[in-house]
Chains A and B, each alone.
Chain A
Amino acid sequence: MGKTESSGQTVVVADAGPLIHLDELGAIDVLADFTRVLVPVTVWDEVNRHRPDALRLPFLEKLDAPPPGHELHAIGRLYTLHHGEWQALALCAQFPGSRLLTDDTAARLAAKALNIAASGTIGILLRAMRCGRHDKTQTLALLKAIPAQSSLHIRASLLEQIIAEVSAQ
């Protein structure tokens, strides 16, 4: 499976949520469009316990995270982050310009405070359409499958709005 022609030079660090949700949707391949997909050890172990199939693709890189710096330590405690989220943010700090992939609101707040870009499962699915990996029909099918096929929580009316916006593209 090759990278699509419009893929950027983006290093991403994955938290457990997007790995699990994308695999539940049968769409883990969309991560292949990133330059590197780094998975902190704690996140890897967590996904391996709950959804080992999500780790089957060879481009996922299991990495040790550095100890959190003072700023991350304070922010992580403030937002009561889990260990995997701490590690993911520590890896983002180690790779300047990288993007955190997470569906956790507190982790996204922490990323914002640390000036780290972050995106969730829905953003990744829509990016795959922008990059040409999936067409609009495939993307709409994946979005519509979210409530029944994945454990990603999203208000039904918000999902309908997103589906309408994608349909209008």
Chain B
Amino acid sequence: MGKTIQAELPERLMEDAQALVDNGWAGSVNELLAEALRRYLESHRDDLAERFIRDDVEWGLRGQD
């Protein structure tokens, strides 16, 4: 069961989202928003951010350039 939320989004963003639905690239705006949020969360995970910072420490302290 999904959770209903209320959000204010830019009009142009919603028009683009609706166009994707109308052209058959997404089942509904709800599905599209959930997919967009899922992709965003996948690429901004805590563990990834931490791994990159540890890479930073390695390069910063022991890098060659």
Tell me whether chain A's interface is mostly helix, strand or loop, or mixed. Answer: helix
Contact yes or no, A10 B57, CB < 8 A: no
Q: Give the CA-CA distance A9 to B65 in the complex, in Å.
A: 7
Q: Give the CA-CA distance A50 to B36 in the complex, in Å.
A: 27
Q: Give the CA-CA distance A119 to B53 in the complex, in Å.
A: 8
**Count of chain A to chain B residue pairs whose CB atoms are closer than 8 Å in the complex:** 72
Query: If the complex has contacts A8-B65, A105-B43, A106-B44, are A125 and B52 also in contact, measured as CB distance less than 8 A?
Result: no
B64 partner residues in chain A, CB cutoff 8 A:
8
Q: Give the CA-CA distance A105 to B48 in the complex, in Å.
A: 7
Contact yes or no, A126 B56, CB < 8 A: yes
Contact yes or no, B43 A127, CB < 8 A: no
Contact yes or no, A105 B52, CB < 8 A: yes
In the complex, whether B25 has a CB less than 8 A from a CB of chain A is no
Q: Give the CA-CA distance A54 to B60 in the complex, in Å.
A: 21
Max chain A Cβ within 10 angstroms of own Cβ: one of B40, B44, B52, B59: B52
Classify chain A: how many residues form its interface, as a range. 20 to 34
Please, which residue of chain A has its CB at the minimum distance from the CB of B53? A122
Query: If the complex has contacts A79-B43, A80-B40, are A105 and B49 also in contact, measured as CB distance less than 8 A?
Result: yes
A contacts, CB < 8 Å to B: 8-10, 78-80, 99, 105-106, 108-109, 118-127, 129-130, 154-155, 158, 162, 165-166, 169
B contacts, CB < 8 Å to A: 36, 39-40, 43-46, 48-50, 52-53, 55-57, 59-65
User: Given contacts A99-B65, A129-B60, A162-B53, could you give 4 more A-B pairs where the C-beta distance is less than 8 Å?
Assistant: A10-B65, A79-B39, A80-B36, A105-B49
